[in-house]
């Protein structure tokens, strides 16, 4: 089965400006009551709209599989019956035969693991809410705990190992230079000067400052350098105040990384490039009522996530590099870690990189250290490390 053959889909609603989601049958147009209740639970727990949407998308696979074997998932969930290991195993086997994307590629082990994890979370929530055990019984807590542990074990037992990022992926120096060359505004054809400058700016913010694509799309004019400074501010959505509004809801980017200030002077290209882009878009901005930096070339509306992915596809096509935005971020921090590895003040420098990346958990940096360890074991030294050696800073 392919993605477009799934029998359930996520539909998007807006409630007083807040993005909400429901799971709906493509065949009968019936809404899932169980998933509606679960989405409300996630909303009450302040889970971001994108995370809620992704969990429901994961569950759409489960509901689609259940249609094929004539199982009413809602009925099972809402009566606290749940699913046996045999059924969970059949679902996991079905996922391995499901493909996605234009290339009709099989779901990756990491994607399958994520889908199974999301479905398991819903299953345990439904047990907690609807398991038919006398609420006044002294045995209920023990019975519920036993069932929850067994259910978690069942879902985990069929999940493939998720080795998506045991170490960070990377772009070679040559690949980075190729992308620089094909994206430079002076070489772009078939796009407007404003779009060419915008795409190059997005790439440099991604690969020279390590910004996530969601952070780039969420940048506002007020986050950009003011006066003679060269700082760009990454501000969490939760810290933008009650009056913050993004017209891209329910698909608005919601960066979860910590707020921070980054120096554009790290890359001599960035500040003049940013100023050029803001100058080129000044006229079209007069007709819009938003403050976002990265905009469409036609109507100056904030660039959407799907629009950013289209640009990533264009970068891949122009450069011949298998590119996605997180590769640019990885390539930046791989090089930063190569610079600090082996330095006497490594711990302090690592803390600085944690700040620059916006990570709350220091373990998030381990994918970069593992890559450095492996490359050193293989005798590989990056061009950046070679420069340090030349300067006597190793």
Q: How far apart are CA 111 and CA 211, in angstroms?
A: 23
Structure tokens belonging to residue 153: 């074990």
**Whether 222 contacts 278, CB under 8 Å:** no
Mean pLDDT for the stretch of residues 362-384? 75
The Cα 233–Cα 62 span in angstroms is: 40
Task: Give me the pLDDT at residue 380, please.
Answer: 57
Secondary structure percentages of the chain, helix, strand, coil, to 5: 55, 10, 35
Banded model confidence at residue 383, pLDDT cuts 50, 70, 90: very low
Give 379-387's long-range contacts (Cβ < 8 A, gap of 24+): 381/338, 382/173, 382/334, 382/335, 382/338, 383/173, 384/335, 384/338, 384/339, 385/338, 385/339, 385/341
For residue 4, the model assigns a pLDDT of 67
Say how far apart CA 214 and CA 220 lie, in whole Å: 12
- Burial of 306 from C-beta contacts in 10 A (0-12 / 13-18 / 19+): exposed
Instruction: Give just the sign of the alpha carbon dihedral 98, 4, 12, 315.
Output: positive
pLDDT at 74 over 90: yes
So what's the pLDDT on residue 284? 80
Report the alpha-carbon distance of residue 138 to residue 122 in Å, rounded.
25
Average pLDDT over every residue of 316-338: 94
Whether 379 shows a pLDDT value over 90: the answer reads no
Residue 212 CB partners (closer than 8 Å, separation 6+): 206, 255, 257, 325, 326, 329
Burial of 299 (0-12, 13-18, 19+ CB in 10 A): exposed
d(CA 154, CA 309): 36
Query: Which residue, chain included where needed, has tokens 């993605």?
Result: 3
Contacts of 130 (CB under 8 A, 6+ apart): 77, 78, 79, 80
Q: Is the pLDDT of residue 342 over 80?
A: yes
Q: What is the mean pLDDT of residues 179-207?
A: 96
Q: Is the pLDDT of residue 187 over 50?
A: yes
Q: By three-state DSSP, how is residue 79 classified?
A: coil
Query: What is the secondary structure of 50-67 as a DSSP string?
Result: HHHHHHHHHHHHHHHHHH
Q: How many residues are recorded in the chain?
A: 394
Which of 155-159, 244-248, 260-264, 328-332 is predicted with the least confidence, judged by mean pLDDT?
A: 244-248
Q: Is the pLDDT of residue 89 over 90?
A: yes
Confidence of residue 2 (pLDDT cuts 50, 70, 90): low
Of 364 and 46, more confident: 364
Cα radius of gyration (the chain): 24
DSSP secondary structure code for residue 167 in this structure? S
CA separation for the pair 221, 279 (Å, rounded): 12
Averaged pLDDT for residues 144-171: 84
How buried is 390 (Cβ within 10 angstroms: 0-12 exposed, 13-18 middle, 19+ buried)? Answer: exposed
Asked whether the predicted pLDDT for residue 390 surpasses 60, the reply is no
In the chain, where are the structural domains located?
Answer: 3-157, 173-326, 329-390
pLDDT confidence of residue 394: 47
pLDDT at 138: 74
Indicate the pTM of the whole model.
0.69
3-state SS record for 228-273:
CCCEEEECCHHHCCCCCCCCCCCCCCCCCCCCEEEEHHHCCCHHHH
Average pLDDT, the chain: 89
Q: Quick one: pLDDT at residue 348?
A: 96
Q: Could you name the CATH architecture of 173-326? A: Orthogonal Bundle (1.10)
- Contact (Cβ atoms closer than 8 angstroms) between residue 214 and residue 254: yes
Q: Which two tokens stand for residue 84?
A: 């046996």
Q: Which helix (H) or strand (E) holds 14?
A: strand 8-15
User: Cα separation of 121 and 58, whole Å?
Assistant: 11
Distance CA 283, CA 144 (A): 62
Residue 315 pLDDT > 50 = yes
């Amino acid at each position: 089965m392919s993605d477009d053959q799934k029998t359930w889909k996520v539909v998007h609603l807006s409630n007083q400006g807040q993005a909400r989601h429901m799971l709906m049958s493509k065949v009968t147009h019936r809404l899932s009551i169980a998933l509606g209740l679960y989405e409300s639970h996630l909303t009450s727990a302040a889970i971001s709209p994108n995370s809620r949407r992704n969990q429901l998308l994961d569950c759409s696979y489960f509901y689609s599989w259940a249609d094929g074997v004539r199982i009413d998932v809602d009925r099972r969930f809402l009566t606290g019956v749940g699913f046996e290991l045999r059924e969970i195993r059949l679902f996991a086997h079905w996922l391995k035969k499901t493909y996605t994307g234009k290339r009709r590629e099989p779901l990756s082990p990491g994607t399958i693991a994520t889908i199974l994890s999301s479905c398991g979370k819903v299953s345990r929530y439904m047990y907690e809410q609807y398991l038919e055990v006398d609420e006044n019984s002294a045995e209920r807590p023990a019975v519920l705990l036993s069932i929850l542990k067994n259910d978690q074990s069942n879902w985990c037992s069929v999940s493939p190992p998720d080795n998506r990022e045991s170490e960070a992926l990377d772009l070679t120096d040559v690949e980075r230079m190729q992308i620089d060359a094909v994206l430079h505004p002076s070489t772009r054809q078939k796009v407007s000067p404003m779009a060419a400058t915008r795409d190059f700016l997005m790439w440099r913010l991604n690969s020279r400052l390590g910004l996530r694509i969601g952070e780039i799309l969420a940048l506002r004019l007020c986050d950009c350098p003011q006066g003679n400074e060269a700082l760009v501010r990454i501000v969490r959505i939760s810290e933008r105040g009650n009056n913050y509004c993004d017209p891209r809801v329910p698909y608005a980017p919601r960066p979860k990384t910590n707020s921070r200030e980054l120096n554009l002077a790290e890359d001599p290209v960035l500040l003049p490039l940013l100023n050029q882009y803001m100058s080129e878009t000044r006229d079209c901005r007069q007709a819009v009522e938003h403050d976002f930096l990265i905009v469409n070339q036609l109507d100056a509306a904030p660039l959407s996530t799907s629009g950013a992915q289209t640009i990533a596809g264009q970068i891949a096509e122009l450069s011949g590099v298998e590119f996605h935005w997180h590769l640019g971020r990885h390539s930046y921090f791989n090089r930063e870690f190569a610079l600090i590895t082996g330095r006497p003040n490594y711990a302090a420098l690592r803390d600085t990189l944690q700040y620059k990346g916006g990570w709350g958990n220091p373990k998030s940096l381990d994918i970069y250290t593992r890559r450095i360890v492996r490359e050193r074991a293989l005798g590989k030294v990056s061009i950046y490390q070679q420069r340090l050696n030349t300067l006597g800073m190793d």
